[in-house]
Structure 1
Amino acid sequence: MSAEIASLERVRQAVDTIRRRNGTPTADRIIELIGGGSKKTVLSHLRTLRDPQTEDDGVPAAIIEMARAALGDIYRAGGQAEADRARALAERLSTTLVELEVQIEELAEENGRSLQAIPEITRQRDEAWADRTRAEQRLAEALAANRSLESDLANEWLKRSQGIEKAIARIESIVSTASRSDKTPSPRATVSLPHRDRGG
């Protein structure tokens, strides 16, 4: 009964369970887990699980060797294919790195040119600001001069207008005086005759 309880499959399942629990699959732990079994049988199954070739599964040794050789070829082929893929990937990465290095160099050169141009751009900007400031000053001076000229012109116009008005008033006064003089009769001149001497 103990041998049936500790079958190879149950021992295999117990070993997997103990390993999933991060334990060491000893005979005592396996017997405890499966609920019984002969320690000798369990140890025998453990040896079989450690060396699958000793398991009596009816497969001839020659077949196993052929299968091992075929698996080796498959493994080596897979390894070669993986190596080829890794090599191709490395080549692509190398090409990409070279392209990136070229782009970095081009950007560095462009950045260098930009840095060299900054002083000239700054100078031109400062000159433009200075020109603008001078233009604004000249405009302000011109506006002030224009206002001054307008004020002087207005004062001169006022003076001349007043002078013209005074001249007109004087002319009107002269004309009026002359008109009155023409209407007043002029006194007649009297001529006195010489006195005759009565004794003569």
Structure 2
Amino acid sequence: MKDWVKIFKEIKSWVILFVLALFFSALINSQLFAMATVKEVSMQDTLFEDQILFINRLAYKNKSPKAGDIIIFYKSREIGSFTEEFLRSVSYILPFTRPKDDNKDRLVKRVIGTSGDIIDIKDGYVYKNGERLEEPYAKGDTNATYIEFPVTVGENQLFVLGDNREHSRDSREFGLIDISHVEGKASFRLYPFNKIGKLQ
């Protein structure tokens, strides 16, 4: 009988440790920072597939994204409340509850225009408020695709582009995004180790 009591206490202690680890992991991931793996070629040559990024979820708590920032956002959904994001984070940690299509909706792009900016695309270049942008990070020509230019960025909206301009689904296709969809700022590359460092 004593052996069974000892075994039960041991199991109980492991369960408590697991629950606490799950709680704090979900809390940190949903409110402070997260990680994202690059799944596409749209940010080459800045970012490549399978690179792992550190996402600062506090970066835009008291300020808005600015031009040049690399952001992580959801194309089809807003960032939820504290409870919603916490439960979503738990579902990511537990493999049998992980959302299947959420990662396809989670994108990494560069902010080009913010509230009030007038964005135009012509002759393979981006113009903001009448001035052609110097974009050393851009790869290939920037051509207009689905939406009509010029476009004015509304309040609490962003115009975003991938750095790999000829192979990127971005605001040229799906239009402006709402700031409420932004998860955070991609501020640091964690992997591969020979590329580790702050993102520019």
Higher relative contact order (CA 8 A, sep 6+): 2
Structure having the higher Rg: 1
TM-score normalised by the chain length of structure 2: 0.23
The structure richer in strand per residue is 2
TM-score normalised by the chain length of structure 1: 0.23
